[in-house]
């Protein structure tokens, strides 16, 4: 209290908050070009949606969206109306058969006070609609909204824009997967990498091998996270399990397809295979051994055996997988293969000799090449983690570079396609979002939003031709330390929006300040309305820091539209009952004293940021 009496706070009323003049009109990911024009379009119950392809998935999606939002939803096939009697006033015209060309997945959106038009084909129309949805400003009165006038031209930088989810370490049900797909679609992501199998659980029904789920989807107990940051040796003594039936998989595939999202299923091999080995030990090099679904994190010491029995079973498993997933890519894992079991195996040692392989790395390559041949024979392609480079890359494989970019660079130099997903680039969303001890338990690391945003997937060390092999970018969400849907959302958002911008927006169009201060607050308010448990970033200007001097200016911008910031300077943790920050402050610290300016942001729904702390010290005597 003594300190407080000596402190002078001055409020400053000019230049309070970020300007609203956002060149990207709040849209995430930022479009190639957006031109704000004067006026606005009023969306009313009388607004008609004219379409030239009424059954198109994007059109159906949009009309369902408007219906749900209580806005106009009358869809009319424009071909049924005589050209001379078309009154396009107060209408939204969705044109898939427009004349002219657009880049792949591109669209044009034009909003005037009279009407809105979107030109786009396939996913291009869907993305034009997503942009329009982001521009719709709902009013308090039902059935009424406005859209600012604008001309937007847009198309993506990369064809592959992915988001991964590990459902093996923890299982997430179909409803949640759909919610995950919804938010991916809203930000123009087009590939869902579904990590369906691992040591800790096999999550996809395979009719020919029912024990994969009967046995492999269940574990007896689960390792308890960490105690004071150190891996514990405690277990929860609670059985855990879950899997998707083939019917459910088909339902999810259809749901994703309706949102122009391809699903890349991952069936891990030859490592990360304990759950499968627990069900079918004959797939190991030592079938007499007992295998059980892993209850711990980290990698098991086991792997599928590269023999005829295993290959036959894996081909049959992959055949069913390919029946369920229509996309080009099947992800076969290939990462972190512990080769101990192969080293101990007489069969493997002989196989290395017979096939003139160099060592167990050569065996890994032999394994992946066998699987690739089968997948290719079915008209599909494999993706593997960058370890599949070890011992020689399978001829047509696409490489997912996760251990930094080196694997991706090597693969691109060899003429292979590459998807960049390096943890070092802030794309591992199981890493913490700040260094604060207030962050929830995570696997470790630090991947703040700014780091995720800054990542550029195209290494400058590659030639222009080689750069063409970087087909896209993806973030990964491993769930060892993420047991609930709420926590998945917390770790995903808002970082996924930053990664989505990297995938879509041209590098020259990226601007972190514009993203984080002008567009993200609007998008987070939207996510809040839609019920996502995103992480509330600390207010801009409030990040933890230590400053010395005697006068300090505090200038904060809320990270979420409509949120309030509360602060203390008395050393107590701020909460909603403390002073509200509404305007910039100047704090004077007397000689020899120090003050902590601690702030918390609380959103309309009551979501809270962590508490930030600006330490201000006046060292003068």
Selecting among 198, 199, 372, 390, the annotated active-site residue is 198
Helix (H/G/I), strand (E/B), else coil: 418:
strand
For 583, list phi and psi in degrees, rounded to 5.
-155, 155
User: What's the min distance (Å) between Cβ of 407 and ligand ACM?
Assistant: 11
d(CA 482, CA 195): 14
CA-based angle 91:104:429, to the nearest 5?
100
Query: Binding marks (x or -) toward ligand ACM, 280..319, rule CB under 6 A?
Result: ----------------------------------------
Helix (H/G/I), strand (E/B), else coil: 406:
helix
User: What's the min distance (Å) between Cβ of 150 and ligand ACM?
Assistant: 41
Helix (H/G/I), strand (E/B), else coil: 355:
coil
Assess whether 258 carries a catalytic annotation. no
d(CA 424, CA 448): 12
Residue number, 116 or 368, with CB nearest to ligand ACM: 368
Residue number, 172 or 385, with CB nearest to ligand ACM: 385
User: What's the min distance (Å) between Cβ of 479 and ligand ACM?
Assistant: 12
240 sits near ligand ACM (criterion: CB under 6 A)? no
| Cα pseudo-dihedral 514, 517, 523, 529, rounded to 10 | -170
Angle of helix 360-377 versus helix 308-324 axis, rounded to 10:
40
d(CA 306, CA 365): 10
| 8 A C-beta contact, residue 96 and residue 75 | no
d(CA 207, CA 198): 19
Nearest CA among 399, 503, 427, 390 for reference residue 408: 399
Residues in contact with ligand ACM, counted by CB under 6 A, come to a total of 4
Q: What is the DSSP string of 91-104?
A: EEEEESS-SS---T
Residue number, 121 or 170, with CB nearest to ligand ACM: 170
| Cα pseudo-dihedral 587, 592, 595, 596, rounded to 10 | 130
| 8 A C-beta contact, residue 523 and residue 135 | no
Partnered with residue 162 across adjacent β-strands are 191, 474
| 8 A C-beta contact, residue 217 and residue 243 | yes
Identify how many contiguous H helices and E strands the chain contains and give both numbers. 18, 32
User: What's the min distance (Å) between Cβ of 11 and ligand ACM?
Assistant: 49
Residues 358-397 binding ligand ACM (CB under 6 A) are 385
Taking CB under 6 A as the criterion, the residue among 335, 511, 555, 561 binding ligand ACM is: 335
Assess whether 272 carries a catalytic annotation. yes
Residue number, 476 or 505, with CB nearest to ligand ACM: 476
d(CA 236, CA 219): 11
Residue number, 336 or 561, with CB nearest to ligand ACM: 336
Residue number, 399 or 589, with CB nearest to ligand ACM: 399
User: What's the min distance (Å) between Cβ of 402 and ligand ACM?
Assistant: 4
Residue number, 336 or 544, with CB nearest to ligand ACM: 336
d(CA 1, CA 184): 49
Residue number, 402 or 567, with CB nearest to ligand ACM: 402
- Sign (positive/negative) of CA torsion 364, 369, 370, 371? positive
User: What's the min distance (Å) between Cβ of 430 and ligand ACM?
Assistant: 9
User: What's the min distance (Å) between Cβ of 91 and ligand ACM?
Assistant: 49
Residue number, 457 or 574, with CB nearest to ligand ACM: 457
User: What's the min distance (Å) between Cβ of 423 and ligand ACM?
Assistant: 7
Selecting among 336, 511, 544, 561, the annotated active-site residue is 336
Taking CB under 6 A as the criterion, the residue among 286, 336, 544, 570 binding ligand ACM is: 336
576 φ/ψ sector (left φ>0, alpha ψ -120 to 50, else beta)? alpha
User: What's the min distance (Å) between Cβ of 392 and ligand ACM?
Assistant: 20
User: What's the min distance (Å) between Cβ of 446 and ligand ACM?
Assistant: 17
402 sits near ligand ACM (criterion: CB under 6 A)? yes
Query: Parallel, antiparallel, or unpaired for β 107-111 and 145-154?
Result: antiparallel
User: What's the min distance (Å) between Cβ of 192 and ligand ACM?
Assistant: 16
Residues 6+ apart with CB under 8 A from 354: none
Cis peptide before 450 (omega within 30 of 0): no
Query: Binding marks (x or -) toward ligand ACM, 464..503, rule CB under 6 A?
Result: ----------------------------------------
Cis peptide before 29 (omega within 30 of 0): yes
For 592, list phi and psi in degrees, rounded to 5.
75, 5
For 547, list phi and psi in degrees, rounded to 5.
-125, 150
Q: Residue number with the shortest CB distance to ligand ACM?
A: 335
Residue number, 479 or 603, with CB nearest to ligand ACM: 479
| 8 A C-beta contact, residue 576 and residue 609 | no
Selecting among 164, 193, 195, 272, the annotated active-site residue is 272
Residue number, 115 or 401, with CB nearest to ligand ACM: 401
Assess whether 465 carries a catalytic annotation. no
Residues involved in catalysis:
198, 272, 336
Binding positions for ligand ACM, rule: CB under 6 A: 335-336, 385, 402
């Amino acid at each position: 209290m003594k300190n407080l009496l000596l402190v002078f706070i001055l409020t400053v009323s000019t230049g309070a908050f970020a300007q609203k003049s956002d060149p990207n009109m709040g849209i995430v990911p930022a479009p190639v070009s957006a031109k704000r024009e004067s006026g606005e379009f009023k969306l009313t119950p009388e607004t008609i949606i004219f379409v030239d392809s009424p059954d198109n998935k994007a059109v159906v999606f949009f009309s369902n969206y408007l219906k749900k939002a209580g806005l106009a939803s009358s869809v009319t096939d424009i071909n049924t109306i005589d050209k001379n009697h078309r009154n396009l006033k107060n209408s939204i015209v969705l044109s898939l058969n427009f004349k002219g060309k657009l880049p792949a997945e591109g669209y044009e959106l034009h909003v005037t006070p009279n009407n809105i038009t979107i030109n786009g084909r396939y996913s291009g129309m869907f993305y034009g609609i997503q942009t329009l949805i982001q521009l719709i400003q709902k009013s308090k009165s039902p059935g009424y909204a406005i859209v600012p006038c604008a001309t937007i031209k847009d198309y993506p930088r990369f064809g592959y824009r992915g988001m991964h989810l590990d459902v093996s370490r923890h299982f997430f049900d179909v409803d949640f997967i759909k919610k995950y797909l919804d938010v991916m679609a809203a930000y123009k992501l087009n590939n869902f990498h579904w990590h369906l199998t691992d040591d800790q659980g096999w999550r996809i029904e395979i009719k020919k091998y029912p024990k994969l789920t009967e046995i492999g989807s269940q574990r007896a107990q689960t390792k308890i996270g960490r105690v004071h940051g150190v891996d514990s040796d405690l277990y929860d003594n609670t059985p855990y399990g879950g899997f998707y039936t083939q019917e459910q998989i088909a339902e999810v595939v259809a749901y994703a397809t309706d949102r122009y999202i391809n699903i890349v299923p991952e069936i891990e091999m030859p490592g990360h295979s304990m759950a499968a080995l627990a069900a079918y030990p004959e797939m190991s090099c030592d079938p007499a051994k007992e295998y059980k679904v892993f209850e711990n994190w980290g990698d098991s010491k086991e792997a599928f055996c590269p023999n005829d029995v295993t290959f036959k079973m894996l081909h049959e498993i992959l055949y069913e997988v390919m029946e369920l997933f229509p996309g080009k890519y099947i992800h076969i894992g290939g990462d972190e293969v512990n080769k101990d079991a192969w080293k101990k195996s007489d069969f493997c040692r002989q196989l290395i000799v017979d096939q003139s392989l160099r060592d167990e790395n050569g065996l890994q390559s032999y394994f992946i090449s066998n699987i690739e041949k089968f997948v290719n024979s079915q008209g599909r392609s494999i993706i593997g983690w960058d370890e599949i480079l070890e011992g020689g890359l399978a001829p047509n494989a696409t490489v997912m570079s996760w251990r930094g970019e080196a694997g991706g660079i090597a693969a691109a130099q060899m003429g292979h396609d590459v998807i960049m997903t390096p943890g070092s680039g802030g794309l591992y969303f199981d890493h913490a979002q700040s260094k604060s001890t207030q962050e929830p338990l995570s696997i470790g690391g630090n991947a703040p939003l700014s780091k995720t945003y800054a990542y550029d997937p195209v290494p400058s060390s590659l030639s222009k031709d080689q750069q063409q092999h970087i087909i896209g970018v993806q973030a990964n969400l491993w769930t060892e330390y993420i047991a609930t849907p709420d926590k998945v959302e917390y770790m995903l958002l808002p970082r996924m929006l930053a990664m989505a911008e990297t995938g879509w927006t041209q590098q020259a169009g990226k601007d972190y300040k514009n993203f984080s201060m002008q567009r993200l607050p609007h998008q987070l308010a939207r996510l809040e309305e839609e019920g996502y448990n995103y992480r509330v970033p600390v207010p801009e200007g409030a990040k933890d820091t230590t400053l010395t001097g005697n006068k300090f200016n505090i200038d904060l911008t809320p990270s979420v539209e409509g949120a309030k910031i509360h602060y203390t300077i008395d050393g107590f943790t701020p909460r909603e009952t403390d002073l509200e920050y509404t305007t910039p402050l100047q704090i004077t610290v007397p000689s020899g004293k120090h003050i902590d300016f601690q702030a918390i942001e609380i959103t309309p729904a009551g979501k809270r940021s962590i508490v930030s702390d600006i330490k201000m010290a006046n060292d003068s005597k």
